[in-house]
Amino acid sequence: MDFVKLINCMRCGMCLPHCPTYKETFLETASPRGRVALVRKFQEGELVESEKFLEYVSLCLDCQACASACPCGVNAGELVAEFRCERKQEQGLSTMEDLILRKLVPHPDRLEAATAPLRLYQRTGLQKVVRSLGLLKVFPAALERMEGLLPKLPEAPLRQTINEVTPAVGEQKGTVGFFLGCVMSLIFSEASLATVELLSSLGYKVVTPKDQKCCGAPNMLGHDIDGLKEAARFNTDLFQSQQLDFVVTDCGGCGAELKKYGHHLDGEAAATAFSTKVRDISEILATEAGTLKEKLKPLPLKVTYHDPCHIAHCQGIRSQPRALINLIPGIDFRELPEADACCGSAGTYNIEKPEMSDRVLSRKVQNVQKTGADYLVTSNPGCLLQLKKALSEANPPVKVIHLTELLQMSLNA
Amino acid sequence: MEDSFIKALSEIVGAQYTLSDPESLACYGYDSTPELQSRPGVVVLPGNSEEIARVMALCEGAGVRVTPRGSGTNLSGGSISFDSGVVLQTSRMNRILEIDEENLTATVETGVITSTLHREVEAKGLFYPPDPGSMNISTMGGNVAENSGGLRGLKYGVTDDYVMGLKTILANGEILKTGGKVVKDVAGYNLNQLLVSSEGTLGVFSEITVKLIPKPQTKKTMLVHFPQLEQAALTVSHIIAARIIPATLEFLDRTTIKCVEDYAHVGLPLDVDAVLLIEVDGHPAQVEEDAAGIRSICERHHCSFFQTAASTEEALKLATARRVALSALARVRPTTILEDATVPRSCIAPMVKLIQDTAKKYDLLIGTFGHAGDGNLHPTCLTDERNPDEIKRAHQAFGEIFEATIAMGGTITGEHGVGVAKKKYLPKLVGESGLKVMRGIKGAFDPRGILNPGKIF
Ligand SMILES: Cc1cc2nc3c(=O)[nH]c(=O)nc-3n(C[C@H](O)[C@H](O)[C@H](O)COP(=O)(O)OP(=O)(O)OC[C@H]3O[C@@H](n4cnc5c(N)ncnc54)[C@H](O)[C@@H]3O)c2cc1C
Ligand code: SF4
Ligand code: SF4
């Protein structure tokens, strides 16, 4: 780890009020400033990797809200993640981690096959039986949480059904590559279909290479840097072999990771060139606001927007999604208090740290209810999973949809 | 620290609020002061006045030293326990107890965050003016203990001007109530005022009552560039002499301007000596008149650019340069030493000039920005703590800057407090008699010397 990144922290505390775990605990050890200090003191040999130490650093959501707030350009979340990656490299992956991160995640066909039983399970009505009998209670808590989070899965993953090339409608303006996120393809394929439809209706030819692999974000989460590098190399080669103006994704997590390929591969030219082409769907659509506005039809809905960490803090995209929502005639947009605070999903955090995740989530739910909105719009599969469940159970319930689904609704209204 | 003592503390505040693992102690061993650190023996987070009182009584009985701590954002080492004592952290005490719209007061627990109070009172059309740069994280208790100022200090004053009543826990655990909601009060010594800026050495505040005022109806923001430093400084003096009191009158020097431009690209010219950010607020007619007066004074002093914001968004844009000043400077080098020299307003130009010359003499990079209207400047030295020679030169330079400040009739700290960081300059400023009185006061409040020892003097 680059020691300068640690001493850059001047301990001003500007990050504290933005950190979800600090806001819940008011403890310095659960704050970005504290986490930087812990890692620094570990590097300086003043602290050892005790159980408490690991507990404190692993409570970090890696939401990077602290990075947005820091005057010195310190990114505490990323520093903690980097620290954990380095420790992992020294210690090696466990058998389970190796199985998931190396043998499953990088192979879309295996991943899809692994989720197929779930599809069957939901479709045959078995899910209802299991839920009503409370059978899940006998499973470990983590499994029960995971099961509870899953919405109804689509018939088939989008990767299997989408055409490699979707032609532009009307005059072709350019060609974009579409990066399918694993979770978007497996679970939120309707939103991704909407993304492709929007792009083609605006004159973009959309190329969706079927061989693409997971972006590598799960490897980063699992602190598996080598696996991440492998994914970065593969996807770079695949997309760079095509003539593309942009590489577009509608998954905040993928976008944030893809934009860092250059960094992950230590500035390799091809990876850097690839990263500079990556755009979140809202960035592309915002440049087409004029054309889009003419096509959108009125939707009389009360809508609010949750900033996914991977969009707002990691990519600095805040105004575009709001501007796009406001393009829709008749929409009643209400700003969400603490809109860019993490929802508690944070990769697998909601399964690993259920207690803190729930506290962070319940703050989000309360804020959503303050807006009185019927719809919450967001654009990251982790947030969609977490918030769909929580807000369907809220009183009154709030519908949760992807930004492109809202725009498509208006397009087809 | 002995286990039995830690156990006794945990019986008062609860085990989960008594921290003694090495990780927690490391994280409560610093505040925002560069270079200073020291691990406490234990950290307690009391939940109410009663618990603070019991903690204090226990500590005084055992002769254990106590350092109060809000959010740990002070810049003078005030919240660090240098003798492995107790850090008494107030963050759990964060309730706004009352906003009294009839008496125009607010009563808060000590750990309430300054900007939270701003939000709550402004929602009722009221105003709590003190707005330190750290207001999004500093606590009200910390503000009172340091007598914090802010951007609105010129027109509205500092924390001291708003504190009406305090509930303070003394070293022996007794509760002292001073002041209250009455606007006039001359019964005995003015203990309230004495406790403000006591830096945690006289007592622990648990509740604070502050004065509120009506929220100003409107405001106007202006940004002005000056090719010459002297002209900018004269403008500041002449605005005040013209009996115009802006809410904000902020200054950036050449080095700061360059750093801001490199970092934020806000369109500042690199060939000017100074930029002033000016804000007037109040009744619309008065605001118009003041803004026009300011414009003509700036033009008379050869400003090269004068812009008035037409909307709230534009006002925010104009204020960007000042808002990002610290960030822009802090990113240049790893270690940022932010100082707080304050001179009479008429000495701003010579002071800035002296800082620039001193930086050159010691081969240092120092950017200066700050509250020009108050004469309160923040010379900010950009350095690297891994370079001991440079750090030594930085300290020498600041030594000279403080000498000059005192010679100009100024003070070594306008708002950051003495703490330990500026202890060595205090005797020069207040003299032997000043120190003697201060020691006497300390003895009256805290005879056993257990409250934040080693701070101020
Ligand atoms: C980026 C930045 C900008 C800043 N800008 C300004 C500014 O514009 N103006 C300004 O004046 N200051 C400024 N400061 C300094 C600092 O924020 C203030 O001094 C602030 O009031 C400290 O509040 P805190 O809650 O962090 O207190 P702490 O730092 O925790 O404590 C400060 C002092 O108060 C004592 N204390 C805390 N709580 C209590 C209590 N309940 N009872 C008794 N004593 C107590 C402590 O012992 C310590 O001596 C800035 C600091 C930073 C890092
Ligand atoms: S991480 Fe940044 S914002 Fe937080 S204390 Fe350090 S320098 Fe300040
Ligand atoms: S990444 Fe999020 S949880 Fe972690 S320190 Fe930063 S703000 Fe806090």
Closest to A181 (Cα-Cα) out of A157, A147, A202:
A157
User: Is the reported ipTM for this assembly greater than 0.95?
Assistant: no
Q: So what's the pLDDT on residue A132?
A: 52
Tokens matching residue A112? 């899809």
Report pLDDT for A42: 92
CA–CA distances in Å: residue A390 to residues A75, A369, A400, B154: 29, 12, 10, 48
**CB of A385 shorter than 6 A to ligand 3:** no
CB contact under 8 A, B334 and A29: no
pLDDT-wise least confident of A2-6, A254-258, A278-282: A2-6
Instruction: Average the pLDDT over each of A106-120, A222-236, B48-62 and give the range with the smallest value.
Output: A106-120
By the 8 A CB rule, do A159 and A189 touch? no
Q: Read off the pLDDT of each residue in A261-280 and give the average, rounded to a whole number.
A: 92
pTM, two decimal places: 0.87
What span, in angstroms and rounded, lies between the C-alpha atoms of A81 and A102? Answer: 19
C-alpha closest to that of B313 among A319, A306, A308, A328: A319
With an 8 Å Cβ cutoff, is B38 touching chain A?
no
Interface test with B, best of A19, A28, A46 (most B CBs within 10 A): A28
- pLDDT in the model for residue A26: 92
Q: Give the pLDDT mean for B260-270.
A: 83
Instruction: Please tell me the distance between residue B415's alpha carbon and the centre of ligand 1 in angstroms.
Output: 9
Among A27, A37, A72, select the one facing B330 at the smallest CB separation.
A72
Residue B23's SS3 state is: helix
Is residue A7 a contact partner of residue B386, using CB atoms and an 8 Å limit? yes
Beta strands in B193-264 (DSSP E): 204-211, 213-214, 218-226, 248-253
Q: Model confidence over B101-116: pLDDT tens digits?
A: 999 999 999 999 999 9
Mean pLDDT over the full length of chain B:
92
What is the arithmetic mean of pLDDT over A222-235?
Answer: 88
Pocket of ligand 3, candidates A16, A19, A25, A80: which has the most ligand atoms within 8 Å of its Cβ, to mutate? Answer: A19
Q: Where are the beta strands (DSSP E) in B297-364?
A: 305-308, 335-338
The pLDDT of residue B57 is: 97
d(CA A358, CA B181): 41
Q: Answer yes or no: is pLDDT of A120 > 60.
A: no
User: Going by C-beta distance under 8 Å and a sequence separation of 6 or more, which residues neighbour residue A268?
Assistant: A236, A262
pLDDT tens for residues B173-208?
999 999 888 877 777 888 999 999 999 999 999 999
- State the Cα angle at A89 between A84 and A91, rounded to 5°: 90
Nearest alpha carbon to residue B371 among B249, B238, B278:
B249
Q: Confidence class of residue A337 from pLDDT cuts 50, 70 and 90?
A: very high
A389-398: pLDDT as tens digits: 899 888 889 9
Q: What is the dihedral of CA B101, B106, B108, B112, to 10 degrees?
A: 100
Cβ-Cβ contacts under 8 Å for B177 (sequence gap 6 or more)? B165, B166, B167, B168
Spatial separation of the C-alpha atoms in residues B259 and B331, rounded to whole Å: 9
What are A360's two structure tokens? 């962070």
Q: Going by CA atoms, what residue is nearest to atom 5 of ligand 3?
A: A32
The ligand whose atoms approach the alpha carbon of B67 most closely is: 1
Give the pair of three-digit tokens for residue A170: 């009307």
Cα(A252)–Cα(A250) distance, integer angstroms: 6
**pLDDT over 60 (residue B274):** yes
Check: CB of residue B33 under 8 Å from CB of residue B80: yes
| Alpha carbon distance A318, B39 (integer Å) | 40
| Closest chain B CA to residue A11 | B32
A52-100 confidence digits (pLDDT tens): 999 999 899 989 999 988 888 899 998 998 888 777 777 776 666 666 6
Does residue A141 have a pLDDT over 70? Answer: no
Burial of A171 (0-12, 13-18, 19+ CB in 10 A): exposed
Which of A35, A74, A313 is the best mutation target for the ligand 2 pocket, counting ligand atoms within 8 Å of the beta carbon and taking the most? A74
CA B142 – CA B162 distance, rounded (Å)? 14
Contact A177, A103 (CB under 8 A): no
Ligand 2, atom nearest to A76 Cα: 1
pLDDT beyond 90 at B120: yes
A184 lines ligand 3 (CB under 6 A): no
The predicted model gives B407-428 an average pLDDT of: 87
Which whole number is the average pLDDT over B224-231? Answer: 91
| A194-215 mean pLDDT | 91
How does DSSP assign B163-207, residue by residue? Answer: EEEEEEE-TTS-EEEEE-S-S---SSS-HHHHHTT-TTSS-EEEE
Closest CA–CA distance from residue B46 to any residue of chain A (Å): 12
